[in-house]
Structure 1
Amino acid sequence: MTATSKRPFPFLGPASTSDAEAIRDNDWSAFQHLPTVYDHWSLKPWSPGQAGYYWYLTFSDPALVELASHCQTELAHDGLDPVPLDGLHLTMLNIGRTDDVTGHELARIADAGRVAVASVKPFRLSVGPLTGSRSALRFSVTPWDQLLDLHRRLRSATAQHRDGSRLAETAEFRPHLGVGYLNRRQDAQQLIKDVSELRELPPVTVRVHEIHLVELRRVNREYKWENRAVVALG
């Protein structure tokens, strides 16, 4: 993985984490300025058999599934490996590789996470419009304030049982919801044009009421996960 691929995207955060238009504009502006986009699977390689533990938000809201399905269909010619419609998610935090986290540690992390979010009430997010990154297409997610608070809580809870220096800082967290991963390097101009034609589709509202601690694997050109814990908010 290159140094560039490890940097958050967009590199600079929005002017406001509570204003939806500021977040959406920042996402779109960063994507529009990319001269080239890359093959996700090469940009972020995994070793054979590699697996990891992550904190995830997962979604099955019918309106979101319909929006994602429509965008995937419209962009099928753009070298896109779609995220399965039953696998729509927002990555909160990478905990570590499975071969580096014991079962006892994982159970303690889950318990710490449960305590950390016990006072957080369920909340709603707006998902959309469509935008992109260096190697994927994704929806903007707004607002960020509650997601940033959730990230801080989960990071702090996880750091009780993992080396905190190995966990992503909340300042580097860029909430988004993936639609698909690009499977070839290409000039970004046509892709940006194709995405722009879908940006008039209205955002949808989803409800966040639980967090999943998952074991994630990469199978061919798709991510698959199994729940290791489901933690309810509030």
Structure 2
Amino acid sequence: MADHWWWRPGWRVGRRGYAWHLTFRDAPDVHRLAGVYRQGLAGVKELDPVPDASLHLTMQQVGFVDEVAEEQVKLMVEAATRRLAVLPAFEIELARPVITREAVRWDPVPAGPVVAVRLAIRQAMAEVWPMAPGREAGFVPHISIAYSNAPVPYSAVAAALAAIDAPPARARVEKADLIVIHRDQRMYEWTEHSAV
């Protein structure tokens, strides 16, 4: 694994960005499972565990706060409200995490409803801008439980995961959040702008 906390283009300490996420601050079953995995991975010092308040499923980046006009944000939220109102709430399940290059993460099941929410958000954004940022294809819904902060052998992380035994968690998804996010302290932290 490699260090997750390198600075992506445009990001720096103090800069904030708009993004659409599914958040899990009110998901006790997800917190239960996250706690088990945080404890099980505690011996791997190259991993930064994600606290309950920062558990999220990244849906769609919007842009930096200093580059997006408040009127554009207002119109985007109005469009998202119309489009998401027709989608039903749904449940996802989180079971065994997988290891990627920069994170240990859950891939929620089923993925289809999450993809539908993201598509509605991208369509709402297209009502305000000619094109939504990022690619529409290739989206893989995921919730990270830990990010790597330095190079670490895959085998060390896999061994720690293999020793963890916990029943899956379920979460009901009833809204998407437009947030104002930063990563100044090697953690994703945010304030909520709008819940749709």
- In the superposition, the TM-score normalised over structure 1's length comes to 0.78
Match of 2:191 in 1: 226
**Residue 4 of structure 2 corresponds to residue 40 of structure 1:** yes
Shift of 1:193: 2.2
Question: In angstroms, what is the RMSD of aligned CA positions?
Answer: 1.6
The one-letter code sitting in structure 1 at the alignment partner of 2:195 is V
Change (3 A) 1:98 1:43: closer
For residues 81-131 of structure 1, what are the alpha-carbon distances to aligned partners after superposition, in whole Å with 9 as ceiling and x for unaligned?
Answer: 121212211111111111211111111111111011111111111112121
Match of 1:5 in 2: none
Q: Which runs of 5+ in 2 are unaligned?
A: none
* Preserved contact between residue 137 and residue 179 of structure 1 (Cα < 8 Å): yes
Match of 2:112 in 1: 145
**Residue 161 of structure 2 corresponds to residue 195 of structure 1:** yes
Which among 97, 101, 106 is matched to residue 64 of structure 2? 97
- Structure 1 Cα separation of the partners of residues 23 and 143 of structure 2: 10
- Structure 1 Cα separation of the partners of residues 107 and 95 of structure 2: 5
Change (3 A) 1:43 1:136: farther
SS in 2 for 1:229: strand
Match of 2:89 in 1: 122
Moved more, 119-128 or 43-52: 43-52
- Structure 2 Cα separation of the partners of residues 163 and 189 of structure 1: 45
Shift of 1:210: 0.9
- Structure 2 Cα separation of the partners of residues 190 and 81 of structure 1: 15
* Preserved contact between residue 21 and residue 60 of structure 2 (Cα < 8 Å): yes
* Preserved contact between residue 129 and residue 202 of structure 1 (Cα < 8 Å): no
**Residue 119 of structure 2 corresponds to residue 183 of structure 1:** no
- Structure 2 Cα separation of the partners of residues 115 and 196 of structure 1: 44
Q: Percent identity?
A: 29
- In the superposition, the TM-score normalised over structure 2's length comes to 0.92
Q: Which runs of 5+ in 1 are unaligned?
A: 1-36
How many equivalent pairs are there?
Answer: 193
Shift of 1:43: 6.6
Shift of 1:63: 1.6
Match of 1:209 in 2: 174
* Preserved contact between residue 43 and residue 135 of structure 1 (Cα < 8 Å): no
* Preserved contact between residue 40 and residue 161 of structure 2 (Cα < 8 Å): no
Match of 1:88 in 2: 55
Question: Relative to total residues, which structure has the larger helix share, 1 or 2?
Answer: 1
- Structure 2 Cα separation of the partners of residues 135 and 147 of structure 1: 22
For residues 4-61 of structure 1, what are the alpha-carbon distances to aligned partners after superposition, in whole Å with 9 as ceiling and x for unaligned?
Answer: xxxxxxxxxxxxxxxxxxxxxxxxxxxxxxxxx1111127473122211111111122
- Structure 2 Cα separation of the partners of residues 217 and 179 of structure 1: 18
For residues 200-220 of structure 1, what are the alpha-carbon distances to aligned partners after superposition, in whole Å with 9 as ceiling and x for unaligned?
Answer: 422111100011100001121
- Structure 2 Cα separation of the partners of residues 43 and 128 of structure 1: 30
Question: Relative to total residues, which structure has the larger strand share, 1 or 2?
Answer: 1
SS in 2 for 1:76: coil
SS in 1 for 2:123: helix
Match of 1:106 in 2: 73
Shift of 1:161: 1.5
1:53-68 → structure 2 map (5 Å cutoff): 53-59=18-24, 60-68=26-34
- Structure 2 Cα separation of the partners of residues 87 and 96 of structure 1: 20
Q: Which has the higher contact order (CA 8 A, sep 6+)?
A: 2
SS in 2 for 1:178: strand
